[in-house]
Amino acid sequence: MATEILMPALSPTMEEGKLAKWLKAVGDTVKAGDVIAEIETDKATMEVEAVDEGVLAAILIAAGTEAVKVNTPIAVIGSDVNDTATGGASAPATTPAPAAAPVAVSPATVPAAPAAPTEDEYPAGTTFTAMTVREALREAMAEEMRRDDTVFIMGEEVAEYQGAYKITQGLLQEFGAERVIDTPITEHGFTGLAVGAAFGGLKPIVEFMTFNFAMQAIDHIINSAAKTLYMSGGQMGCPIVFRGANGAAARVGAQHSQDYAAWYAQIPGLEVVQPWSAADAKGLLKAAIRSPNPVVFLENEILYGQSFDVPVGDFVTPIGKAKVVRSGSDVTLVSFGIGMTYTVKAAAELEAMGISAEVIDLRSLRPLDMATVVASVMKTGRCVTVEEGWPTCSIGSEIASRLVTEAFDYLDAPVLKVTGKDVPMPYAANLEKLALPTVAEVIEAVRAVTYR
Amino acid sequence: MATAKSTRNKAQQETGPAPFTRDQEIAAYRMMLLIRRFEEKAGQMYGMGLIGGFCHLYIGQEAVVVGMQMAMIEGDQFITSYRDHGHMLAAGMSANGVMAELTGRRGGYSKGKGGSMHMFSVEKQFFGGHGIVGAQVPLGTGLGFANKYKKNGNVAVAFFGDGAANQGQVYESFNMAELWKLPVVYVIENNRYAMGTAVTRSSSQTDFSKRGVSFNIPGEQVDGMDVRAVKEASARALDYARTGQGPYILEMQTYRYRGHSMSDPAKYRSKEEVQKMRNEHDPIEQVRNRLLAGGLVSEDDLKKIDAEVRIIVQESAEFAQNDPEPDTSELWTDIVR
């Protein structure tokens, strides 16, 4: 039975080409790998190699023919020169792949049930103790490392130095150098190495001294960690935590002050959290370490030393649940991380002015708990978002867009965003202050949306 | 070997690789031929529009991955770039599963969601299939890190090309691997061209076995067209890493007959250069000639193997064309667990 040779495509977009030259004649013996012809497009010339063995029984398209469509039979290879009957069966199939069915509607547009009321977040009888965010983060890691010996931490200065911001203080002494690992200052390399270790069955915690330096490693965070579960058809996940200080500290200039919340929140395959309180820092970090997914855990240097009440004992805060920090009826303030410091102060001042603000701490940015935000806006009819990051394509932009889609009929005013200014972070003290959001800006935005 | 540590003396180098047994020769012949025929078929199906996007063929380099696999033991992991079809077949992953992934069908290794460049097999310890040049090097180093952490006695093998060997993250990995004595073998597949740029135009040091010198990592150049030489060097490197001495670099001197990808006409090199490699160094012909010259098999025996291989490849092509596309619900699965 003979086999037809078809006009090949040189690229995904090629539809036709010129059959420039035949290098074999009818009657020639052809082996797999022999070049039999040359074809040309406007971009390139390429050789056609035989895949089957036999005798070139027929040339169907003459040399020099222009505009030969891809998949047109150009020659026949048979067992001898008279064997030209392809009979259909042995001809390579040219059936195009079936067309894809219409894409399903994004489940993201369907609001889920709102989060449980936050007053009940911890069981009755829970006792609390005051603790800094720094201590809470350290406790979370220590507890999880005691619980699971595949959990380890690596990063710059995490071991001997006890942490550049002392988050890992004491961990080397308790867990030893095999599980608390100082790295060279090579973010790209050690992040890739940690992702590979997660593929290999471990649960790494990667500490970035700050997320500014993680920009060198973002290829591994996104291409290697976030996309692998999908690219492997669900075979291989990547349980890993990328954590460290994010956003502006104080007077450290443009390259050390960027807020990456919106960047990472855009990536399918990641979970992204940015806690404000010490209790959430602890509960969410424990959840992040136990998550089977890659988690970007955004901290803030200024918050490290702030104290909050933290439940005593083992507790885990679910990723993807916002928290109503303060109930109110006139406006919904939505914030997260360091943005909460402006927000709660503004809410207190607004109360004195007779405006009742409901304050929501998003805590998780991906998945984003829109149900809690929507439920609040259905009550207040107004929303102001607060964050330190840049305004374009910000978390506030996403909230505003989602509210317009999911709560349009309940809005009595435009959604306003209070953000960092659209400039690189300046060094001068007065300019840096101007670049960041202020409590006054939050109050001004609330007055605008409440027409007061 | 101008390396800091040498594990192989000059006499050994000059005597040539140790001969294979008849069974080893036949196994190597069969697997290299399977890769060759599979890739030829993939190229043909690409031309027919059945395979989309990028498709990087391994034709010419077969001895590298086959020789390496012959030296690896159960549990050793491996990871490579986007030129990955040969690596998967050599590890025993099914031709049907690989070909169906190339056509984007549900029976592919990634359910059609990965494509030519992104396949994985936890069962066969194959960790991809990576599309960013050089990214697999720190990832493979991390697999080695996990081996050391778990004290499981396994070695991770990271394959990468002469082009990737110029990436910064490769040297960050070398540094940590030697610093922490990680069980990793770095296999640099030097096929002489980083896409279209010859090594002499892209690399200040074209002896890639020396790329670990400043980190104290031993390395050697290997005739990557001779499967026996590959297997012998691989065994030496794996043993070095497995015994806690740290990483090892193997520069496999090889050649790809086809362009970088299907859309590359390879005009940056002469036809004579390609033909010379094919005529004088073809990895499959070398084994074939040894088998026949030694009277170890007959022409008919080889024809039988050729026919068996053709059937596997033909069946994979048919499976990959008849298997349905993924269900549309798969768009939304496997994003997070």
The ipTM of this complex is 0.94
Task: Write down the pLDDT at residue B13.
Answer: 57
Taking the C-alpha atoms of residue A230 and residue B200, their distance in angstroms, rounded to an integer, is 38
Q: What CA–CA distances, in Å, run from A52 to A29, A297, A451, B99, B257?
A: 11, 56, 79, 18, 17
**Per-residue DSSP letter, A377:** H
Q: Which parts of A109-256 are beta strand (E)?
A: 128-132, 151-155, 180-182, 203-210, 240-245
> Looking at the domain assignment, is residue B260 inside a domain?
yes
Query: Is the CB of residue B269 less than 8 Å away from at least one CB of chain A?
Result: no
Beta-strand relationship, B193-194 and B184-190: unpaired
Task: Write down the pLDDT at residue B129.
Answer: 94
CA distance B16 to chain A (A): 29
Q: Is the distance from CB of A133 to CB of A308 less than 8 angstroms?
A: yes
Using a CB-CB cut-off of 8 Å, the residues of chain B touching A71 are: 48-49
What is the residue range of B141's domain?
19-319
Domain boundaries along the sequence of chain A: 3-78, 127-311, 323-449
Task: Write down the pLDDT at residue B196.
Answer: 92
Instruction: Count Cβ neighbours within 10 Å for each residue of B163-176 and write b for 16 or more, e otherwise.
Output: bbbbbebbbbbbbb
The arithmetic mean of pLDDT across residues B226-239, rounded, is: 98
> Looking at the domain assignment, is residue B1 inside a domain?
no
A3-78 and A127-311 agree in CATH topology: no
CA distance A290 to chain B (A): 12
> What does residue A227 show for φ and ψ, rounded to 5 degrees?
-95, -10
**What is the token pair recorded at B138?**
């720190």
- Note whether B149 contacts A197, CB cutoff 8 Å: yes
- Note whether A196 contacts B179, CB cutoff 8 Å: no
CB-count burial class (<10 Å; 0-12, 13-18, 19+) for A258 = buried
Peptide bond into A414 cis (omega under 30): no
Q: Is the pLDDT of residue B280 over 70?
A: yes
- Note whether A233 contacts B43, CB cutoff 8 Å: no
Interface mutation vs chain B, best among A7, A15, A94, A199, most B CBs within 10 Å: A199
- The string of pLDDT tens digits covering residues B287-329 is 999 999 999 999 999 999 999 999 999 999 999 999 999 999 9
Cβ neighbors of A6 (< 8 A, separation 6 or more) are A70, A71, A72, A73, A74, A92, A94, B47, B48
- Note whether A192 contacts B142, CB cutoff 8 Å: yes
Using a CB-CB cut-off of 8 Å, the residues of chain A touching B137 are: 192
CA distance A350 to chain B (A): 40
**Ranges under pLDDT 50 in chain A:** 88-119
Using a CB-CB cut-off of 8 Å, the residues of chain A touching B122 are: 235-236
Q: Which parts of B63-201 are beta strand (E)?
A: 77-80, 126-129, 156-161, 184-190, 193-194, 197-198
Residue A449 gets the label, from left (phi > 0), alpha (psi -120 to 50) or beta, of alpha
Residues of A taking part in catalysis: 187, 256
Q: Is the pLDDT of residue B234 over 50?
A: yes
CA distance A149 to chain B (A): 10
Partners of B252 in beta bridges? B189, B222
Query: Is the CB of residue B118 less than 8 Å away from at least one CB of chain A?
Result: yes
Measuring CA to CA, which residue among B145, B93, B124, B109 is closest to residue B312? B93
Task: Write down the pLDDT at residue B12.
Answer: 55
pLDDT, mean over chain B: 95
CB-count burial class (<10 Å; 0-12, 13-18, 19+) for A244 = buried
- Note whether B138 contacts A220, CB cutoff 8 Å: yes
Cα A101-A105-A108 angle, rounded to 5 deg: 145
Q: Is the distance from CB of B110 to CB of B58 less than 8 angstroms?
A: no
Using a CB-CB cut-off of 8 Å, the residues of chain A touching B79 are: 196
Q: Assign residue B35 the CATH number of its domain.
A: 3.40.50.970
Whether domain A323-449 has CATH 3.30.465.10: no
CATH of the structural domain A127-311, one choice from 3.40.50.970, 3.40.50.2300, 3.30.70.2860, 3.90.226.10: 3.40.50.970
Work out how many domains chain B is built from and give that number. 1
Using a CB-CB cut-off of 8 Å, the residues of chain B touching A188 are: 138, 168-169, 172
- The string of pLDDT tens digits covering residues A50-80 is 888 889 999 999 999 999 998 899 999 888 8
Task: Write down the pLDDT at residue A89.
Answer: 42
Taking the C-alpha atoms of residue B322 and residue B17, their distance in angstroms, rounded to an integer, is 44
> What does residue A250 show for φ and ψ, rounded to 5 degrees?
-155, 120
- The string of pLDDT tens digits covering residues A311-361 is 999 999 999 999 999 999 999 999 999 999 999 999 999 999 999 999 999
**Range B294-303 contact pairs with CB under 8 angstroms and sequence separation of 24 or more:** B296/B22, B296/B25, B296/B26, B297/B22, B297/B26, B302/B29
Task: Write down the pLDDT at residue A104.
Answer: 40
CA distance B172 to chain A (A): 5
**Per-residue DSSP letter, A317:** P
* Residue with the two structure tokens 């300046």: A426
Task: Write down the pLDDT at residue B10.
Answer: 52
Taking the C-alpha atoms of residue A324 and residue A204, their distance in angstroms, rounded to an integer, is 31
> Looking at the domain assignment, is residue B239 inside a domain?
yes
Partners of A182 in beta bridges? A155
> Looking at the domain assignment, is residue B328 inside a domain?
no
Cα B15-B16-B19 angle, rounded to 5 deg: 110
Query: Is the CB of residue B58 less than 8 Å away from at least one CB of chain A?
Result: no
CATH of the structural domain A3-78, one choice from 2.40.50.100, 3.40.50.11400, 3.40.1360.10, 2.40.160.40: 2.40.50.100
Task: Write down the pLDDT at residue A293.
Answer: 98
Interface mutation vs chain A, best among B173, B288, B334, most A CBs within 10 Å: B334
**Per-residue DSSP letter, B215:** G
